Amino acid sequence: MFKSKQVVTNGSSHNSLAAGTKIKGSVAAEEDFRIDGSVEGDIECKGKVVVGPEGIVIGFITCQNAEIMGTVKGNILTQGSLVLKSTAEYSGEATTRILEIEAGAGFNGTCTMIKDSHSGNRAKESHSNNKKDANVGITN
């Protein structure tokens, strides 16, 4: 007699930090996170992190996938892929399964390729022991 309601999601939910906006402190995001402003602190995202052409991140990024078009100074740990676009400037230690660097991108650091999630967890645990930032949570 009564039909149950169906919840439909389009899968396009994401967080965004607009140009001119600055965050000092750690950020936690459940969904994708695009940064066109600046973040000075660690970012932990369960989805994809995109640093736009004007975006700046100084800190440790942990996420599923990352696409960098702007500036990142700090370590990156992805469980999937790390893409440095031609406008990217990256310095730090990257730990990822897949690394793609476009011609023109700046890469000053090291990269460790992982085959399983345990390798990535060790890198994350090592960084967690050195964490001293305040936490700022972003959720939908």
Domain layout of the chain by residue ranges: 21-118
pLDDT, tens only, 86-122: 999 999 999 999 999 999 999 999 999 998 755 555 5
Which neighbouring-strand residues pair with 38? 22, 56
Which residues lie below 8 Å from residue 57, measured CB to CB, with a gap of 6+?
35, 38, 39, 43, 51, 70, 71, 72, 73, 74
3-state secondary structure of 61: strand
Q: What is the pLDDT of residue 25?
A: 95
Instruction: Kindly list the distances between the CA atom of residue 52 and the CA atoms of 93, 110, 115, 123, in Å, as whole numbers in the listed order.
Output: 20, 22, 28, 25
pLDDT, tens only, 58-82: 999 999 999 999 999 999 999 999 9
pTM: 0.77
Name the pLDDT band for 30 (thresholds 50, 70, 90). very high
Round the average pLDDT of the chain to a whole number and report it: 84
> Under a CB-based contact definition with an 8 Å cutoff, are residues 59 and 75 in contact?
no
> Under a CB-based contact definition with an 8 Å cutoff, are residues 30 and 14 in contact?
no
H/E stretch holding 38 reads strand 38-40
